[in-house]
Amino acid sequence: MALFSFKHSVRTFSEKRTANARQAEHGQTAAHLRYITRKQAARCVLRERLAGKTDAETGTLAEQEAERRKGRVCERFILALPVEATPDQRAALVKEFCETFTQGVAGYVAAIHDQTGNDIANPHAHVVAFDVQVKTGGRGRPRSTLGMARKNAVETTAAQWASIHNRMMDAWGYGQDSHISHLSFAARGIDRIPQIHEGAASRKMAGRGDEIAPKAEWHHIDQGHSRADANAVIREINSMKEMQNEQTEHGNRLGRPYDDDRARRRDRRQDVGTHGVSRGSGVGSPTPPFASTESVGEDLRGDQNTASTDAPAVFPPFFARSAAAEKNVPSPFDRRILRGSRIRWVYRELVMLRDTLRARLFRKDPENDPPPMTAAQIQSVRPRSRIQQHYR
């Protein structure tokens, strides 16, 4: 599956805004349009239904109207585009999304970056959409065309982009491998922790070996470490999670290779007496205190002739599953990190989760446990060089 990236931001004059980063200022929109449409970065620029003759005039008019209404100036998006698609196909994808999102009524500017530098490996599009208030004919307030202030609007628009992308890529014959999904790892049942967006500049600094100065206000989150350090820990956690899942699929660590074969298990049960003594071994072991002649289920019965199939299963106390395990509740470390579909990026807790997985996987048992990962193996698990999914 291709990597999905969909970032949304907004600038508004509303006094009810929840974040200072959303505060609009005069001149911001024109500067942003000038930045995304610069010739050295933008290969293709799409413009439709704009209020002004130029981008600067359009941005000024949008800010004046938003200030009068105490509302939103524009909606900004960054969309990751498929690497395998041709330039014309990428432009067609962006145009289809913009026309669908604006309903053929609102105006937009879309700039496609895929021709120089890091943009070649990370093709993406910047979209700026300007809302249009449509009168409904009643006495109420005009209705927003874009509707991005409504509940779950970002999630709905992200799903819209994924649907358009997959439909058009199928029509061009790229197949399932080119599909993207707007759903999170948890929603898709993927046991992985998503990495943090580092940015091209920070990756270049890390590649040169430059030290990134930490910010004091984020020390309670990153403990003085960079995002690259956190992603290195996350990659190691995900690698160990994959190893843990593989071990779970192959059965219990104490079992034998043929434990999954029911026929062989039945053959072994026929060789076991009613008191736990192996027939033919000559020497038996005493019955443990928790042993019982009652049935313990179809696959675990000892003597089928003396056991009742209707009796409840009897297990030793330490075999009992806790209530948390019955509900499939994650470990305390997972609960600290996962908050619904969002991630709480606390470096200390990532390290705690990593060390917990290490203790579970790499025990002092050379016969059954795989060798610890070397530094080269950890470094080989590199992040994919694409824009990371990022919601604020």
Q: Which domain holds residue 21?
A: 6-178
pLDDT tens per residue, range 159-218: 999 999 999 999 999 988 899 998 887 788 878 888 877 777 777 777 787 777 777 776
Task: State how far Cα 33 lies from the chain centre.
Answer: 30
CA distance 84 to 178: 8
Q: Is the pLDDT of residue 280 over 50?
A: no
Choice between 111 and 288, residue whose per-residue pLDDT is larger: 111
Whether residue 36 is contained in a domain is answered as yes
Supply the CATH number for residue 129's domain. Answer: 3.30.930.30
**Which pairs count as long-range contacts for 82-90, CB under 8 Å and 24+ apart, including other chains?**
82/2, 82/123, 82/165, 82/169, 82/174, 82/178, 83/121, 83/123, 84/174, 84/178, 85/169, 85/172, 85/174, 87/43, 87/44, 87/112, 87/114, 89/168, 89/172, 90/44, 90/114, 90/123, 90/125
3-class secondary-structure state, position 369: coil
Whether residue 124 is contained in a domain is answered as yes
**What pLDDT shows up at residue 296?**
39
**What pLDDT shows up at residue 60?**
96
Number of domains in the chain: 1
Residues of the chain above pLDDT 70, percent: 66
**What pLDDT shows up at residue 377?**
60
pLDDT tens per residue, range 238-266: 888 888 777 776 654 444 444 444 454 45
Whether residue 146 is contained in a domain is answered as yes
Considering only 64-68, 224-228, 375-379, which range has the smallest mean pLDDT? 375-379
Whether residue 29 is contained in a domain is answered as yes
pLDDT tens per residue, range 72-117: 999 999 999 999 999 999 999 999 999 999 999 999 999 999 999 8
Whether residue 291 is contained in a domain is answered as no
H or E element that contains 10: strand 6-12
Whether residue 355 is contained in a domain is answered as no
pLDDT tens per residue, range 322-334: 444 444 444 444 4
